[in-house]
Amino acid sequence: GDSVTQMEGPVTLSEEAFLTINCTYTATGYPSLFWYVQYPGEGLQLLLKATKADDKGSNKGFEATYRKETTSFHLEKGSVQVSDSAVYFCALTPITGGGNKLTFGTGTQLKVEL
Amino acid sequence: DADVTQTPRNRITKTGKRIMLECSQTKGHDRMYWYRQDPGLGLRLIYYSFDVKDINKGEISDGYSVSRQAQAKFSLSLESAIPNQTALYFCATSDRGTGQNEQFFGPGTRLTVL
């Protein structure tokens, strides 16, 4: 079945540091890929998405590129802020037949310190 | 007002009690989902519904039941709660019509079973 693997956290960075959170997936065909973010005490929010190979999703300074050849969708940000502290989830949904069902990774907690 | 609301936000109950968690949405979406979140496990799908007459089990449906009372309402019940059902529960919605595969999440219900 489909699966998503994320790097384990927590990841602790200083403000303005470069961020990478690794995500790889296993799925049939070309799934749609997502990054969701969960701020403390809140539900999940869509951060960015990509629906086909080589697409780059971007939002709020975060980026991720859909790499079919390495089955990866790594999240990056050039300069993190304290307000980026949250849990980040990589997820996928099949391109067909999935009924929008999401398969999530286990989440990576990011802590940004001054 | 929030598009996806969940009640209650927090609940503490005892083993063997029947519990109902409610979800309402004003987004007009046809699809609704229930997930549970456990530390280190990410989000796992309990049940999902593609419309009022279409209910489907997810990967961890044992011990749970659901009711889709209307397009806008989707309730999750624990008929006889047990301690390992202590978790954070999320409702989500999506719109088949857009084909965008994005899900929108409620704020979550924190359930503790003693």
> What pLDDT score does B39 carry?
83
Tokens coding B9? 């936000």
| Residue A12: strand pairing partners | A111
Residue in A92, A100, A104 to test binding to B, most B beta-carbons within 10 Å: A100
Q: pLDDT grade, residue A101 (50/70/90)? A: confident
Cβ–Cβ of A102/B43 closer than 8 Å? yes
Q: Is A84 helix (H, G, I), strand (E, B) or coil?
A: helix
Q: pLDDT grade, residue A102 (50/70/90)? A: confident
For chain A, percent of residues with pLDDT exceeding 90: 75
Q: Chain-wide mean pLDDT for chain B?
A: 92
Smallest Cβ distance to A93: which of B96, B101, B105? B101
Model confidence at A18: pLDDT above 80? yes
Tokens coding B90? 């999320």
Q: pLDDT grade, residue A28 (50/70/90)? A: confident
CA B68/CA A30 separation, integer angstroms: 31
> What pLDDT score does B17 carry?
96
Residue in B with minimal Cα distance to A37: B105
